C-alpha cells in the first residue's frame, strides 16, 4: 500500500490507509490508547485498542519510526475530526532511550537556558514549536525570492573563500589555504556590484562571516545575508524597493504562516500598505527626539545606539502605525561612510544611505554606490585604501569599463525572522548558531 501524509488522512474516510512517521506522543489510557505520529505534513492521531498492537509500543520512546496501516475514520472527538482506527503497527526503527529534551511540549527560550536549547538542537528541532521558526524562515526566504523574481532579479552565488579582506569594517576570519592565508567572506559586496555590470539586478542569499568578539542578542559569527544590488536606479528607487520588499515579505508570512505565528503568539504586524509611507528619520533627528524623550543623549555618536533603535520603532508604531522605519542622513565624514558609498549630489555632507529598522532592530543597510571610476578611486584613497592593492582590482575594473548608477542592500535573514516571531535573540532564529562561544552542534 502507498503511504499517504497525515494531512491527507481526512480525504480517505472509511478507507484503509498507510502512514509513516515518528512517534510524537503516547497517551496510554489502558484499553483505549492514543498515539500521535508526526510526518512532514504534521500530526495524526491513531487509536490503538488491540492488546498485541499496544504491546508493540511498550518501551518505545518518542522518535520511534513507525509504519501504520489502518482505517481512516471521521470522529468529532479526534483532533481535526480525523484519526486512524484498527491500526497494524510496524516498528521500523525502535527508539529505546528517552530524548534528552522535550519533543511534544514547548521548550523554554529563557536567555539562561539557551545554551541547553542549542546543545540539544538536533533533537529539539523536532519540537513543533521550534520547527515552526524555521518553517517561517523558509517562507521568508521564499518571499524574498518571489519579490526578486517578480522584479527581474537574477540569483547569483559568490565565493566565500577569499584571498584577503578589502571591504574593511568588520573583523575577518583567516584560515590556512594550502600554505597561503585565505579569509572568509564578510560580505558579497564587491561581487554583487560586479554582477550589476552583467544582469543589472542581482540577489544572493549567502552565509556571511564576521570575526567580531560580540556577545549580544543581535550578533553571530556566521549568518545569512540577503544581498541585493540594482542598476539604473536612484536613492529614492532603492528605498522604494526595500520598503516594498519588506511589505511583501511580511504579508506573505502573515498569509502562509498563520499556524507558526500563532504558536509563537506574535503580535499583529503594523506596516503601511505602500513603501513610500514607511516613515523616514534623519539620524540627527532621532538623536534629538530620543534625547528629548529620554535621559540619555547619543548625539555625539556616528550610529544609532540600540536603545535609540528600539525607541524610534516604538515611536513610529504609535504615531505612524509602522513597525519599520528608514534611518537616513548618514554623514560622509564619519567612519560609517565606506569608499564605495555615494555621497548625495545636492548635499555632499550626507551619504545616499539608509538603515532599515524593524521592531527595534536594524535588519538591513542600503546604499547607493559611487559608480564614477575617478570618484571611486578618490574615495578609496580618502578612506585609507590603496587602489593598487590587488584585492580591489576585480571591483575597480568593472568601474573602469562602465557601471551605471546603482545601489543595493545587505539584509539580515535571522534578525528578520527573529523580529517576525518576536523572539529575543537572533540565535533563536538560527538552526545551529555560531558565536564566540559556540562552534557545535
Partner RNA sequence: GGGCUCGUGGUGUAGCUUGGCCUAACACGCCUCCCUGUCACGGAGGAGAUCGCCGGUUCAAAUCCGGUCGGGCCCGCCA
| Straight-line distance from the first to the last Cα atom of the chain, in angstroms, rounded to the nearest whole number | 38
Pick the binder of RNA from 302, 314, 349, 386 (CB under 7 A).
302
Cβ contacts of 254 within 8 Å, gap of 6 or more: 261, 269
Pick the binder of RNA from 37, 72, 89, 114 (CB under 7 A).
114
Is 268 or 352 the residue whose CB approaches RNA more closely?
A: 352
Least Å from the CB of residue 79 to RNA:
4
Report if residue 323 touches RNA, rule: CB under 7 A. Answer: no
CB 286 within 8 A of CB 327: yes
Report if residue 422 touches RNA, rule: CB under 7 A. Answer: no
Q: 3-state DSSP call for residue 390?
A: helix
For residues 229-288, which are near RNA according to CB under 7 A?
A: none
Report if residue 29 touches RNA, rule: CB under 7 A. Answer: yes
Least Å from the CB of residue 58 to RNA:
6
For 188-211, b/e burial (b = at least 16 CB within 10 A) is: bbbbbbbbbbeebbbbbbbebbbb
Report if residue 25 touches RNA, rule: CB under 7 A. Answer: yes
Report if residue 441 touches RNA, rule: CB under 7 A. Answer: no
Report if residue 415 touches RNA, rule: CB under 7 A. Answer: yes
Pick the binder of RNA from 1, 14, 31, 180 (CB under 7 A).
31
Binding-residue total with RNA (CB under 7 A): 79
In degrees and rounded to multiples of 5, residue 36 shows phi and psi of: -110, 135
Is 115 or 155 the residue whose CB approaches RNA more closely?
A: 115
Report if residue 138 touches RNA, rule: CB under 7 A. Answer: no
Least Å from the CB of residue 178 to RNA:
29
For residues 344-363, which are near RNA according to CB under 7 A?
A: 355, 362-363
CB 182 within 8 A of CB 174: yes
CA–CA gap between residue 112 and residue 260 (Å, rounded): 24
Question: Across the chain, which distance is largest between two alpha carbons, in Å?
Answer: 83
Q: Would you say the C-alpha torsion 111, 113, 117, 120 has a positive or negative sign?
A: positive
Cβ contacts of 184 within 8 Å, gap of 6 or more: 160, 161, 162, 172, 173, 175, 209
For residues 186-205, which are near RNA according to CB under 7 A?
A: 187
Report if residue 49 touches RNA, rule: CB under 7 A. Answer: yes
Is 266 or 425 the residue whose CB approaches RNA more closely?
A: 425
Report if residue 402 touches RNA, rule: CB under 7 A. Answer: no
CA–CA gap between residue 287 and residue 264 (Å, rounded): 33
Closest CA to 25 of 89, 104, 122: 104
Is 104 or 256 the residue whose CB approaches RNA more closely?
A: 104
Pick the binder of RNA from 19, 101, 327, 420 (CB under 7 A).
101
Report if residue 108 touches RNA, rule: CB under 7 A. Answer: yes
Whole-angstrom Cα Rg for the chain: 26
Report if residue 109 touches RNA, rule: CB under 7 A. Answer: no
**In this structure, what is the dihedral angle of CA atoms 211, 216, 222, 228, given to the nearest 10 degrees?**
-100
E strands in 153-306: 154-155, 161-162, 174-177, 180-184, 201-209, 222-231, 280-282
Least Å from the CB of residue 84 to RNA:
10
For residues 208-227, which are near RNA according to CB under 7 A?
A: 210, 212-221, 223, 225
Closest CA to 192 of 391, 416, 401, 398: 398
CA–CA gap between residue 323 and residue 316 (Å, rounded): 6
* x/- letters, 148..187, toward RNA (CB under 7 A): ---------------------xx----------------x
Pick the binder of RNA from 4, 9, 47, 263 (CB under 7 A).
47
Pick the binder of RNA from 50, 55, 92, 115 (CB under 7 A).
115
Least Å from the CB of residue 63 to RNA:
11
Least Å from the CB of residue 291 to RNA:
14
Report if residue 315 touches RNA, rule: CB under 7 A. Answer: no
In degrees and rounded to multiples of 5, residue 180 shows phi and psi of: -100, 170
Report if residue 335 touches RNA, rule: CB under 7 A. Answer: yes
Is 123 or 182 the residue whose CB approaches RNA more closely?
A: 123
Amino acid at each position: 500500500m502507498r503511504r499517504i501524509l497525515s494531512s491527507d488522512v481526512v480525504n480517505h474516510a472509511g478507507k484503509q490507509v498507510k502512514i509513516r512517521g515518528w512517534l510524537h506522543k503516547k497517551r496510554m489510557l489502558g484499553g483505549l490508547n492514543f498515539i500521535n505520529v508526526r510526518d512532514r505534513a504534521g500530526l495524526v492521531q491513531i487509536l490503538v485498542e488491540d492488546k498485541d498492537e499496544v504491546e508493540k509500543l511498550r518501551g518505545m520512546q518518542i522518535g520511534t519510526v513507525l509504519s501504520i496501516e489502518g482505517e481512516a475514520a471521521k470522529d468529532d472527538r479526534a483532533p481535526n475530526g480525523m484519526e486512524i482506527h484498527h491500526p497494524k503497527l510496524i516498528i521500523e526503527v525502535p527508539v529505546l532511550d528517552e530524548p534528552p529534551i522535550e519533543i511534544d511540549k514547548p521548550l523554554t527560550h529563557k536567555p539562561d537556558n539557551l545554551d541547553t536549547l542549542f546543545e540539544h538542537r538536533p533533537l529539539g528541532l523536532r519540537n513543533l514549536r521550534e520547527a515552526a521558526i524555521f518553517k517561517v524562515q523558509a517562507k521568508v526566504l521564499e518571499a524574498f525570492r518571489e519579490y526578486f523574481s517578480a522584479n527581474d532579479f537574477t540569483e547569483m552565488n559568490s565565493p566565500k573563500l577569499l584571498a584577503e579582506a578589502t571591504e574593511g569594517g568588520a573583523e575577518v576570519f583567516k584560515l590556512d589555504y594550502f600554505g597561503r592565508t585565505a579569509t572568509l567572506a564578510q560580505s558579497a559586496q564587491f561581487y554583487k556590484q560586479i554582477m550589476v555590470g552583467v544582469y543589472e539586478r542581482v540577489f544572493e542569499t549567502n552565509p556571511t562571516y564576521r570575526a567580531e568578539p560580540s556577545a549580544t542578542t543581535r550578533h553571530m559569527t556566521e549568518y545569512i545575508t540577503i544581498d541585493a544590488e540594482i542598476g539604473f536606479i536612484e536613492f529614492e528607487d532603492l528605498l522604494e524597493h526595500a520598503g516594498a520588499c519588506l511589505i511583501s515579505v511580511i504579508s506573505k508570512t502573515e498569509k502562509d504562516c498563520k499556524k507558526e505565528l500563532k504558536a509563537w503568539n506574535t503580535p499583529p504586524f503594523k506596516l503601511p500598505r505602500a513603501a513610500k509611507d514607511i516613515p523616514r528619520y534623519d539620524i540627527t533627528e532621532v538623536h534629538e527626539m530620543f534625547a528629548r524623550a529620554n535621559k540619555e543623549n547619543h548625539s555625539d555618536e556616528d550610529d544609532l545606539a540600540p536603545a535609540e533603535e528600539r525607541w524610534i520603532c516604538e515611536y513610529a508604531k504609535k504615531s505612524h502605525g509602522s513597525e519599520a522605519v528608514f534611518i537616513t542622513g548618514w554623514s560622509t565624514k564619519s567612519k560609517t561612510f565606506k569608499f564605495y558609498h555615494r555621497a548625495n549630489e545636492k548635499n555632499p555632507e550626507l551619504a545616499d544611505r539608509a538603515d532599515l529598522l524593524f521592531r527595534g532592530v536594524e535588519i538591513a543597510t542600503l546604499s547607493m554606490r559611487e559608480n564614477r571610476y575617478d570618484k571611486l578611486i578618490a574615495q578609496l584613497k580618502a578612506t585609507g585604501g590603496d587602489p593598487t592593492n590587488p584585492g580591489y582590482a576585480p571591483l575597480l575594473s568593472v568601474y573602469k569599463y562602465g557601471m551605471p548608477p546603482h545601489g543595493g542592500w545587505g539584509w539580515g535573514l535571522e534578525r528578520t525572522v527573529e523580529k517576525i516571531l518576536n523572539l529575543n535573540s537572533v540565535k533563536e532564529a538560527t538552526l545551529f548558531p555560531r558565536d564566540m562561544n559556540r562552534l557545535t552542534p
